[in-house]
Structure 1
């Protein structure tokens, strides 16, 4: 499979144009992946532009690509949005990485009541870390769109979102199965998956979300970790909606 790179220069490029990759992208391509002259590669801007090209020069400081083809990939609609509760260790980061590879369209970090990890004084650092993970995972998966990582949400923000989106809260004790809900006809609204932290979603949070119109759903008869629940749910939705 051809290597894929992301650069803002891809946005306006057309067949016949030359694009120069520099900095970390060039170093990764030439020094790590050992890209060679005449090798076919793909490039994108992370916002739907997809280019095919051929390497014309390669050094650790600069890799030149001649564009041979251009496609514009439309954004998915309705979107699948993952609301991922902050978790200890790297569990939330693993969740974000997997969700991106599986095709999620946007990610929202959630400071849940039971989140052990707290971003109160380091939100910008945490957001930057998640955005880097998402960018690299999108490149690895050869995605034309890089999912945006929104600002840190509180439970009140999720309650407000339930008025405009189809909010599905993953709860092991819920009576409705996600597979059954996913098979229902789409109403065109974004589907927002809410995944709680290690200790689960607090009862008061579940009640507030349900009262606002969110639906509590379960994946099956087992309880998944916060690092895997979102990925499993995205897979169910992708299969049911015809994305896969």
Structure 2
């Protein structure tokens, strides 16, 4: 079984000792119940991970570990951003969790025209922070070396700019839609260095949004025979993309 992963600000060099404390230390000691001699992983969420051994446990929220092998793991290619229209509150963090476990690189929360949830002012700040916390937690559970980036709340102008840039640079912009004109599996990811997946809210993407983003280089695609909930569509698309590209290939 893969050792549990914990986040630190800076991964220690090989042979060095460091103390894990705070929230991560409490989780390691009181939840995972680690003891001296057990193996753990320490990561900074920016690609660097160290294989470590627990040297000692202190109280209920601190442990000392010694680093062994330290490795930098590059991001997978192509880079994938999911533009996620705001789901209903009870499904929002589920969407982030599933996309993170499926390998997303960046998540853009989007106030789409049909979004039932409405974020503004302090609510937007709080919502984004919840998504970032959910992404970090899910990345730790999945033993990821990178924590997905979660952008600030985007409006349609921001989404237009992102899609236009990626399409102009030879990337793929896929609008997941039940009336898509072609199948997701038929897209040519070829040499694309970046992919954007646009997921609508519970009511789906509006006709205006589809027309607008298609004019900028996006392609409306059908992900599969079933109509998926907004909270799971991004994760399912990421799984399909992992098979259609080299994203899930074992590192050499």
Q: TM-score over 0.5 for the alignment?
A: yes
Q: What is the rounded CA distance, in whole Å, between the counterparts of 2:89 and 2:62 in structure 1?
A: 36
Runs (5+) with no aligned partner, structure 2 = 167-171
Give the match for residue 196 of structure 1.
200
Give the match for residue 209 of structure 2.
205
TM-score, normalised via structure 2 length: 0.92
2:236 to 226, 229, 232: 232
- Gap change, CA 1:142 and 1:152, over 3 Å in 2: same
Partner SS state of residue 10, structure 2: helix
Give the match for residue 115 of structure 1.
115
What are the equivalent positions in structure 2 for 1:24-43 lying under 5 Å apart? Answer: 24-43=23-42
Q: What is the rounded CA distance, in whole Å, between the counterparts of 2:189 and 2:236 in structure 1?
A: 20
Number of matched residues?
240
What are the equivalent positions in structure 2 for 1:63-212 lying under 5 Å apart? Answer: 63-121=63-121, 122-165=123-166, 166-181=172-187, 184-212=188-216
TM-score, normalised via structure 1 length: 0.95
After superposition, what is the alpha-carbon deviation per residue over 1:18-39, rounded to whole angstroms, capped at 9, x for unaligned?
Answer: 1101111111111111101000
Q: Please report how far the alpha carbon of residue 163 of structure 1 lies from its aligned counterpart in structure 2 after TM superposition.
A: 2.1
Q: What is the rounded CA distance, in whole Å, between the counterparts of 2:184 and 2:189 in structure 1?
A: 13
Matching of residue 2 in structure 1 with residue 17 in structure 2? no
Q: Is the 8 A contact 2:46 2:146 kept in 1?
A: yes
Give the match for residue 54 of structure 1.
53
Q: What is the rounded CA distance, in whole Å, between the counterparts of 1:29 and 1:100 in structure 2?
A: 21
Q: What is the rounded CA distance, in whole Å, between the counterparts of 2:189 and 2:151 in structure 1?
A: 28
Partner SS state of residue 57, structure 1: strand
Runs (5+) with no aligned partner, structure 1 = none
